[in-house]
Amino acid sequence: MEKIRRLSFLALLSASTLFCLRTQAQSNSNVVNYQLLGDGLLMSIKYERKVLPDFNLWLNGGIGYYVQSGETYLTLPLGVRYWQPLSKHNRNYVGIGASATYCKADVTLYAIIEYRDKRDKPENAYINYIPALGFRHLNAKRQVTYTWEANLVVNNFAVLPYFGFSIGFAF
């Protein structure tokens, strides 16, 4: 099962990288975000690129961290989002998407961890799958983005409801 997760993460990473390189000449929509919670788990810096301008399809990737029991773990979120404009002015969007986040931490609620069998603790890094629903607002100059997302962190041990907020710079 662990090999399947690793291979799916590597396949998603490779495909999205190739897709971004292929579409780089077609679009100039980019966003760099600082995100609290969300698919980066605790905190992350993410880069987003609009890869299909006609369909508002975005790919994102980043680096972040997660803290559990006093230990800090690296997180690597990689995902895709579709942002639908709510008006003809295109300043407010509603979105849906999914991410796969690589992390060595056992991302569950602490109450679940305390009562779980010790044999279940993962020894290696694994992938958290994170579906998301969100709302994004751009300021009047279309340079600053504010994004709120409701997420579910899904892994071997639990489904954890999560909320995230990010502020970003569009260029």
- Token code pair at residue 111: 């109450």
pLDDT exceeds 60 at position 111: no
pLDDT at 113 over 90: no
Of the ranges 19-33, 122-136, 143-157, the best mean pLDDT one: 143-157
The pLDDT value given to residue 122: 54
39 within 8 A of 129, measured Cβ to Cβ: no
Please tell me the pTM assigned to this model: 0.74
Number of helices (H), then strands (E), belonging to the chain: the values are 2, 8
Q: Sketch the domain layout of the chain as residue ranges.
A: 2-170
pLDDT, average across residues 106-119: 53
In this structure, of 80-89, 101-110, 144-153, the range with the lowest mean pLDDT score is 101-110
Tell me which of 1.10.3720.10, 1.20.1260.10, 2.40.160.20, 2.30.30.100 is the CATH number of domain 2-170.
Answer: 2.40.160.20
Q: Is residue 134 helix, strand or coil?
A: strand
CB atoms inside a 10 Å sphere around CB 20 = 15
Q: How far is CA 62 from CA 1, 10, 13, 70, in A?
A: 25, 15, 11, 23
